[in-house]
Chain A
């Protein structure tokens, strides 16, 4: 990867305590460099989603600071915050498409932060952006569905529309929160390959939360293990022994990895 050592995301002593007292994140310190493909593994409720959603501030943190490409997103407000978010794409477990809107419209939405409000109100997207949206759909193999309504598509297709939306947004970072959790193994692979394409072809930094150890091993370059809101492992995938996964998934006392 180019610029291998330019930090893209820096978490400094990040913590998150929910109003009911549950600890979501505890003193997280992480640096993720430009162009990395990072997988975050851990049990449900370990804090993987909380970490991802803190990076683009869909959730506020309770302490610490997160820098995106050198700018603090935790301190940003209003327009400044929206401009930082414009450079961070997100893929959701439940796709989060507008089901009653066309596929094209759903892809174009990735671009709204580049438009003044009145233009988006009247759906005035530029020709170039529409063309780009169509090309993005071709990339994920859904060109013929461009005018279909999003709810006519299968789950796997909807997630690919979400990937086209990220392509249209053209961010520096992609956060993928359990992108394959509601999909079958074959479709999951396809989605992960699309993410890999975004990483390799466009140099986007990818952070993906994954349940599946198998997918994590196949696609991750770097693994971050999270347990009870803390980073318990951080290393290159190629140098990560099996025991690490066993530890993360079985709380350090199990014998075999819980492989779903």
Chain B
């Protein structure tokens, strides 16, 4: 009788990393659905394309690194990276641009750093920032005009053709400036009321965008409910954006209103699905609060006073730099200790 020899604990909860990632993927479905309804087929095509490229790039890198393919591919993390890029790129961005973003994410930001768990920076945001800087035209002029899928947007085949054509800009009529972009550039010369007449805002806060953000918020709440993410980063990030907006941008004739900050652009996707990437985020509860809040502040600063209309990617990447530092100074207080041991061993003692 050969008895199994194992180290304790012997009982395990059956919730694997690949299962967690699957839940993350499922939680984006409402958002993707809303994007498709209001902005056409672009995001869906992007998502599928990006996932395919991501898996291919991951597989290529794994085979170069002589790692078992199946074991690593089934953790679903490459798929999540592709998915997040597909969700955040403009609807009409050429396929080759999104491919570059995905390859940069998987090859540079993830595998060259040592693969899953070893990346300092959020891979999807590295890819996003790279193409945003390299191909600013393709990345800013290709946002779909909001409208219901069954009414105005180009059909699936036409969308695919446009994406595959390789043109950096798509013929007008299908695209439109994003609400944040529109507001940022018009408010200098117009009043708030005049700016809001633009069709991108629609009748609510930001046509289409408000639903997309609400759907990502819903997905995010599901993740919190399933204890796949904690509330700390999303809440502190959203709170920071709100506080910044109310403190510095309360005048709508000067700055975008708080509702626009919350429900336009990549705010909710960023708060629940991107900033919460555990590998590149801070660790402890306190650290997460600081990390999330700092991202929120940076998003507001860049949106209001920087060159870019949206800023999730840059803010997340900037805070990725700060994570080791935050982690050193925010460990929790351990049971039986008076206070937390902050800092680096040998330098400060708690």
Chains A and B bind each other: no
Chain A residues in the interface with B (C-beta under 8 A) = none
Chain B residues in the interface with A (C-beta under 8 A) = none
